[in-house]
Amino acid sequence: MKIQAPLRTRKGFMFMEVILALFIFAVVSTSFTKALNALWRNTSYVKEELVITQILDSALHETLYLSQLEEGTTEIYIPERDVDLETQVIPLELENEEGNILQQMWEVRVIARFEQDGIDQERVVRGWRYLPLYRP
**Are the C-beta atoms of residues 125 and 56 closer than 8 Å to each other?**
yes
56 vs 94 pLDDT, higher one: 56
Tally of structural domains, the chain: 1
Structural Rg of the chain based on CA atoms:
31
Identify the weakest region by mean pLDDT among 4-8, 37-41, 79-83, 108-112: 4-8
Query: Which residue range forms the structural domain that includes residue 100?
Result: 7-134
Write out pLDDT tens, residues 38-54.
999 999 989 999 999 99
Separation CA 94–CA 20 (nearest Å): 74
Any domain includes 2: no
DSSP track, 45-82: HHHHHHHHHHHHHHHHHHHHT-SS--SEEEEEEETTTT
